[in-house]
Chains A and B, each alone.
Chain A
């Protein structure tokens, strides 16, 4: 059996591992820490702003077809994006998560700032037209959500008078994780449902994204059945429960299919077999050992997770020292934090061919190394709003190619 090694446990790494396993390979996934899911809204962005100063696009797939050739989407093609989306939606339903969207239109999701954000695939718990929302309810003592702020923003956007409510699940200080666990207790969910039945019967109610890590949709339905209305989750500050929910589901899907996940281990170098990789050198604290494989998928993310590191004024890819696409003479960051044109450091990444193999001087560094997700160059996930979609679709292709089957 072909042995595939995936480096990185984020959206890209987990997806590549599952894909390679489904294609018949024996798969091990190594990760040095968690991915960015706990900062992640839970919505999978496909593409919203392809041009730095252009308008938002309403049909992501159509816009993907018109991207410049160095963009990761352009390398794998629109069909691969559609296949990845469909595969993703099919799998996560196994673990009780429904993701809506077909890539041909955008969803508008309410944020904790009271603004709207565009996204391609959205969890069922957020998939409600914001114009329908009547009430914003805070869940005490959660500090990172102001019902007033959200209601104000929403009222302005929808020209409708949006009310606020406050519900308390616990005393003292508990963070989002603790609160979500508390609210997921059947008695608390029931008490919340009854509270809404008194205060907002039959209405559409927005709450901070604090439904449980598991069975969130079931919990939503059971609360809704008590007050006869609709519950909408609003994603906010980290830790993001919907992001972690998605990670848990993907991990369990991978484990159910027999992927071995090794955590607390960092890939630190190549086992070079002359143009092919025999595997990677890995390290746990100071202890080094080798992991061998027939193919390797690099899904180490970007600056936050150490896929790209900055040392002595330069950006580097630390595992294989792969060349990065970084426009010469540019500074890493522009002076404005939310610059519309994005920051050059964030769009730098590994340069790959159409099979996602990292290149040096236009030829593959190793014929059996594939890269996917945030580590790729040629796109800016934050400015474009394309991070999740690029991670899913490039990982699907990388996983299949690493397993030795056609993309």
Chain B
């Protein structure tokens, strides 16, 4: 057994264990779709040797890595390939800068409050052809890409007035920007399910997890946000929260791994307490403490496991729980990456590639014709709706609707 390691690992130094097996290359959705990206082995461990001080940065191809983590998940030698690529993107951006689309899309949390305040204007605006055309020309945001709608009331506002009943278990909920501004119904469903399961939910003041910023190599900005998040959630743990439940897999990955390993924010008690909702419910169940009652809910659902949920290493616990609801049929898609990958599917430069990557998911959904596609990740939900026209939901929404109150 290895010793306890107080500081998180440093992925940018971990290229040596590569045994050159090329397993990662056959797992990379981008390398399979375009010859312009050399693939994870060359982009990651191979090139990393030559990224010392004074070495010139590579070509813009490094930005074709979508950050899906599939290479890292597939590697048998534990090479943190996707994280190495993040460092390479940072290095590239520091020298060559970032394009407007990337800057815009990774700072969505700046615009969200405005989009929200003026939702009656912003949502229809984002549906207008001329506005989208203009946004593509001016900012490089693909005019056909899926964009979210703004909610009337943010989740934050709901959370401020919501008092969770005291209970045996207590968790802190990290809801994330998308749930806050664009899908507060997901947040309310998560809270409803947790409370029904006998869990008190608290809502520490939080900022954007920075996942999109990290993905674009903008570590400085992300560092400021996550330092604040760590402080807020460490305090929540001190106040008796036993876990930090995160609704969105990419936020969870940012808070539990990227914050320490990529941003270098040092050790924190937060990392190992971060779980997705369904892993938390599974733990309650294993302890014999999950007593939820379901009503008959006829539903034929396809479940899509988000790449970042896979990277978290818990596996998908949602299908098994959903199958307990009488009438619900769930089949796991297992058709690869949907292509959206944060901002990848939104930028004009990569949107077509993203749609090609998602073709496998789209094909399987078209074959099965489910009533709904379920996924914890909002990016996947947007992209799958965009590609297939089948509505997509967070699996917590199905649980919340099926609860006997």
Q: How large is the interface on A (under 10, 10 to 19, 20 to 34, 35 or more residues)?
A: 35 or more
Verify if A304 is at the interface (C-beta below 8 Å from B): yes
Verify if A406 is at the interface (C-beta below 8 Å from B): no
- Tell me the bound Cα distance from A256 to B330 in angstroms: 9
- Tell me the bound Cα distance from A172 to B38 in angstroms: 12
Q: Cβ of A284 and Cβ of B332 under 8 Å apart?
A: no
Bitwise, A273-289 to B at CB < 8 A (1) or not (0) is 00000000010111111
Verify if A89 is at the interface (C-beta below 8 Å from B): no
Q: Cβ of A288 and Cβ of B286 under 8 Å apart?
A: no
Q: Cβ of A256 and Cβ of B331 under 8 Å apart?
A: yes
Q: Cβ of B286 and Cβ of A258 under 8 Å apart?
A: no
Contact of B8 among A268, A285, A306 (CB under 8 A): A285
Verify if B19 is at the interface (C-beta below 8 Å from A): yes
Q: Cβ of A239 and Cβ of B25 under 8 Å apart?
A: yes
Bitwise, B315-326 to A at CB < 8 A (1) or not (0) is 111011001000
Contact of B272 among A178, A248, A289, A305 (CB under 8 A): A289
Question: What are the residues of chain B within 8 A of A285 when measuring CB–CB?
Answer: 8-9, 80, 257, 261
Within 8 A of A (CB), among B239-272: 256-257, 260-261, 271-272
Question: What are the residues of chain A within 8 A of B25 when measuring CB–CB?
Answer: 175, 177, 239
Within 8 A of B (CB), among A257-274: 258, 260-266, 268-269
> A243 to chain B: closest CB distance in Å?
9
Question: What are the residues of chain A within 8 A of B260 when measuring CB–CB?
Answer: 286
- Tell me the bound Cα distance from A285 to B72 in angstroms: 11
Q: Which of B27-35, B137-145, B391-399 contacts A (4 or more CB under 8 A)?
A: B27-35
Verify if A252 is at the interface (C-beta below 8 Å from B): yes
Verify if B43 is at the interface (C-beta below 8 Å from A): no
Q: Cβ of B33 and Cβ of A287 under 8 Å apart?
A: no
- CB nearest to A39 among chain B residues: B21
Q: Cβ of B76 and Cβ of A305 under 8 Å apart?
A: yes
Bitwise, B330-343 to A at CB < 8 A (1) or not (0) is 01101000000000
Contact of A262 among B69, B313, B320 (CB under 8 A): B313
> B324 to chain A: closest CB distance in Å?
11
Contact of B256 among A30, A262, A287 (CB under 8 A): A287
Verify if B5 is at the interface (C-beta below 8 Å from A): yes
- Tell me the bound Cα distance from A287 to B259 in angstroms: 13
- CB nearest to B8 among chain A residues: A286
- Tell me the bound Cα distance from A264 to B31 in angstroms: 20
Verify if B75 is at the interface (C-beta below 8 Å from A): yes
- Tell me the bound Cα distance from A292 to B317 in angstroms: 15
> A225 to chain B: closest CB distance in Å?
22
Within 8 A of A (CB), among B69-106: 69, 72-78, 80
If the complex has contacts A34-B27, A260-B320, are A306 and B72 also in contact, measured as CB distance less than 8 A?
no
Contact of A264 among B22, B271, B310, B334 (CB under 8 A): B310
- Tell me the bound Cα distance from A269 to B2 in angstroms: 10
Q: Cβ of B315 and Cβ of A263 under 8 Å apart?
A: yes
Q: Cβ of B315 and Cβ of A262 under 8 Å apart?
A: yes
Verify if A38 is at the interface (C-beta below 8 Å from B): yes
- Tell me the bound Cα distance from A306 to B75 in angstroms: 11
Q: Cβ of B314 and Cβ of A181 under 8 Å apart?
A: no
- Tell me the bound Cα distance from A267 to B75 in angstroms: 15
If the complex has contacts A172-B35, A178-B32, A285-B261, are A304 and B312 also in contact, measured as CB distance less than 8 A?
no
Q: Cβ of B80 and Cβ of A33 under 8 Å apart?
A: no
- Tell me the bound Cα distance from A251 to B72 in angstroms: 19
> B86 to chain A: closest CB distance in Å?
14
Q: Cβ of A287 and Cβ of B21 under 8 Å apart?
A: no
Verify if B128 is at the interface (C-beta below 8 Å from A): no
Q: Cβ of B35 and Cβ of A239 under 8 Å apart?
A: no
Within 8 A of A (CB), among B174-195: none
- Tally of chain B residues near chain A (CB < 8 A): 47
Identify which of B35, B261, B286, B323 gathers the most chain A CB atoms within 10 Å of its CB: B35
Q: Cβ of B22 and Cβ of A238 under 8 Å apart?
A: yes
Question: What are the residues of chain B within 8 A of A268 when measuring CB–CB?
Answer: 1-2
Identify which of A172, A244, A262 gathers the most chain B CB atoms within 10 Å of its CB: A262
Bitwise, A287-313 to B at CB < 8 A (1) or not (0) is 111001000000000001110000000
If the complex has contacts A28-B315, A178-B33, A287-B256, are A256 and B74 also in contact, measured as CB distance less than 8 A?
no
Contact of B313 among A252, A255, A256, A263 (CB under 8 A): A263
Q: Cβ of A178 and Cβ of B311 under 8 Å apart?
A: no
Question: What are the residues of chain A within 8 A of B334 when measuring CB–CB?
Answer: 248, 251-252, 255
Q: Cβ of B27 and Cβ of A264 under 8 Å apart?
A: no
Q: Cβ of B319 and Cβ of A34 under 8 Å apart?
A: no
- Tell me the bound Cα distance from A28 to B320 in angstroms: 11
- CB nearest to B256 among chain A residues: A287
If the complex has contacts A39-B21, A255-B334, are A260 and B315 also in contact, measured as CB distance less than 8 A?
yes
> B332 to chain A: closest CB distance in Å?
4
Verify if A32 is at the interface (C-beta below 8 Å from B): yes
Verify if A173 is at the interface (C-beta below 8 Å from B): yes
- Tell me the bound Cα distance from A266 to B313 in angstroms: 9
Verify if B13 is at the interface (C-beta below 8 Å from A): no
- CB nearest to B286 among chain A residues: A292
Verify if A157 is at the interface (C-beta below 8 Å from B): no
> A311 to chain B: closest CB distance in Å?
12
Q: Cβ of A256 and Cβ of B332 under 8 Å apart?
A: yes
Verify if B26 is at the interface (C-beta below 8 Å from A): yes
Verify if B197 is at the interface (C-beta below 8 Å from A): no
- Tell me the bound Cα distance from A40 to B78 in angstroms: 21
Question: What are the residues of chain A within 8 A of B80 when measuring CB–CB?
Answer: 285
Contact of A33 among B5, B22, B73, B323 (CB under 8 A): B73
- Tell me the bound Cα distance from A173 to B35 in angstroms: 6
Q: Cβ of B312 and Cβ of A284 under 8 Å apart?
A: yes
Q: Cβ of A306 and Cβ of B31 under 8 Å apart?
A: no
Question: What are the residues of chain B within 8 A of A287 when measuring CB–CB?
Answer: 256-257, 271-272
Verify if B23 is at the interface (C-beta below 8 Å from A): yes
- Tell me the bound Cα distance from A251 to B77 in angstroms: 21
Identify which of A30, A33, A175, A256 gathers the most chain B CB atoms within 10 Å of its CB: A33
> B361 to chain A: closest CB distance in Å?
12
> A263 to chain B: closest CB distance in Å?
5
Q: Cβ of B311 and Cβ of A264 under 8 Å apart?
A: yes
Verify if A174 is at the interface (C-beta below 8 Å from B): yes
If the complex has contacts A238-B22, A255-B334, A304-B21, are A178 and B261 also in contact, measured as CB distance less than 8 A?
no
Question: What are the residues of chain A within 8 A of B314 when measuring CB–CB?
Answer: 262, 265
If the complex has contacts A174-B35, A304-B19, are A33 and B315 also in contact, measured as CB distance less than 8 A?
no
- Give me 10 other A-B pairs in contact (C-beta within 8 A), A33-B75, A255-B334 excluded: A33-B76, A177-B32, A262-B313, A262-B315, A263-B313, A263-B315, A265-B315, A284-B313, A285-B261, A286-B9
Question: What is the interface of chain B, defined by CB distance below 8 A to chain A?
Answer: 1-2, 5, 8-9, 19, 21-23, 25-27, 31-33, 35, 39, 69, 72-78, 80, 256-257, 260-261, 271-272, 286, 310-317, 319-320, 323, 331-332, 334
Please name 30 pairs of A and B residues whose Cβ atoms are closer than 8 Å in the assembled complex, sorted by A: A32-B76, A32-B78, A33-B23, A33-B73, A33-B78, A34-B23, A38-B22, A173-B35, A174-B35, A177-B25, A181-B33, A238-B21, A238-B22, A239-B25, A248-B334, A251-B334, A252-B334, A256-B332, A258-B320, A262-B315, A263-B315, A265-B313, A265-B315, A266-B78, A268-B2, A269-B1, A286-B5, A286-B9, A287-B257, A304-B76
